[in-house]
């Protein structure tokens, strides 16, 4: 799930597979003011360009074929939840009310707030911050 600011374009999203809450610091106010942020907004909300065949795409397609399309305020949710040792398997997906399911998931475990620096550090270790700082200085 992704939430995007109307004024600045800053966004955050919950990534179930990474078990993380990810905060994007980029300010996109200039694109929003010029009317060019529509496409990036649609991408943020609807993920219009998913890579065909990746895990999320395969899960969504399988769930849609097996369970049908989603109604208003519904999502495909794992049952049992991944935090309760559920498995990432399309057979474990069910159509659930979005608000109540996300509330239950939020209560199951404390999610770390991770910015881009934190993601780089998580992926590449503590030396990642210095490497990123040097790369940005060259821009």
pLDDT per residue as tens digits for the range 32-56:
667 665 544 444 444 444 566 678 7
Mean pLDDT of the chain: 71
pLDDT at 1: 56
**Which region, left, alpha or beta, applies to residue 66 given φ > 0 means left and ψ of -120 to 50 means alpha?**
alpha
Give the C-alpha separation, 56 to 102, whole Å. 18
pLDDT per residue as tens digits for the range 97-136:
888 888 888 788 666 667 776 777 777 676 655 655 666 6
Position 65 pLDDT exceeds 90:
yes
Q: Which two tokens stand for residue 116?
A: 């881009």
| Higher-pLDDT residue of 13, 86 | 86
> Could you tell me the residue ranges of all domains in the chain?
1-49+110-139, 63-108
For 33-65, the three-class secondary structure string (H helix, E strand, C coil) is: HHCCCHHHHHHHHHCCCCCCCCHHHHHHHHHHH
């Amino acid at each position: 799930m992704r939430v995007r600011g109307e004024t600045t374009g800053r966004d955050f999203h919950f990534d179930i597979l990474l078990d993380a809450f990810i905060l994007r610091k980029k300010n996109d106010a200039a694109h929003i003011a010029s009317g060019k942020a529509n496409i990036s907004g649609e991408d943020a909300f609807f993920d219009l360009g998913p890579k065909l065949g990746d895990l999320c795409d395969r899960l969504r397609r399988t769930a849609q074929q097996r369970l049908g399309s989603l109604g208003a305020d519904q999502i495909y949710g794992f049952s049992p939840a991944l935090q309760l040792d559920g498995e990432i398997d399309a057979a474990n997906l069910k159509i659930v009310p979005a608000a109540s399911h996300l509330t239950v998931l939020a209560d199951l475990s404390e999610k770390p707030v991770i910015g881009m620096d934190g993601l780089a550090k998580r992926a590449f270790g503590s030396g990642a911050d210095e490497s990123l700082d040097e790369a940005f200085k060259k821009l």
